[in-house]
Structure 1
């Protein structure tokens, strides 16, 4: 297998291009804040003991509960259950339980942001 001058020249150009692009793409200014990880919207430069909003946590939990409810009901619809009454009864039961839970939280004032 013979290495020609043309192929050697091509390899040199490719390597030179790689080296130039890595030099250009490097960060020019390294700082503590840029190198620190960004976690869930919280700045890592602030105090780690800062209180977390329980209202935000509650809304996120409610979202997850209703998201799971949708992921339970939609597959039942997409698989085309043979008995329509069975599908309606199951879906209505799941939604009713979730609605009663939501009303209970609402009546206890858990959804008020003014606390």
Structure 2
């Protein structure tokens, strides 16, 4: 039993050493400037970090997030529709849609949805 344990330990050590040696030997040594730089969703990482950011793009992204969250709130309404009182469900949905439309009209009046900027 002791002999089997020693042999398995030796084989394990040999495999570990071979794995480490093969890992060191097979490493590619291409150190390209673009490969070593982090990728930041389209921004050039070699320029200054304090470039001006488009406020219009930011506002459109926030509007998208708001309406995306709104969609996730509507999905459970299908299941609630089957077990709930129709009057209270319609009242709740009407109130929710009214708040969203008021927000949409506010964004339109502020000029956030104007793509010609």
TM-score (norm 1): 0.71
Match of 2:88 in 1: 86
Report which structure shows greater RCO (CA 8 Å, sep ≥6). 2
- Number of equivalent positions: 114
Paired with 1:85 and 1:22, the residues of 2 have a C-alpha distance of: 70
Listed as ranges, the gaps of 5+ residues in structure 1 are none
Provide the alpha-carbon RMSD of the alignment: 2.9
Q: Is the 8 A contact 1:36 1:44 kept in 2?
A: yes
Paired with 2:34 and 2:16, the residues of 1 have a C-alpha distance of: 35
Match of 1:46 in 2: 47
Listed as ranges, the gaps of 5+ residues in structure 2 are none
Give a deviation string over 1:4-28, Cα, whole Å, max 9, x none. 797445763564245324542x342
TM-score (norm 2): 0.70
Runs of 4+ displaced beyond 4 Å: 4-11
More helix by share: 2
Give a deviation string over 1:25-82, Cα, whole Å, max 9, x none. x342224443332234322211222111112111110111111212222234335542
Paired with 1:91 and 1:52, the residues of 2 have a C-alpha distance of: 36
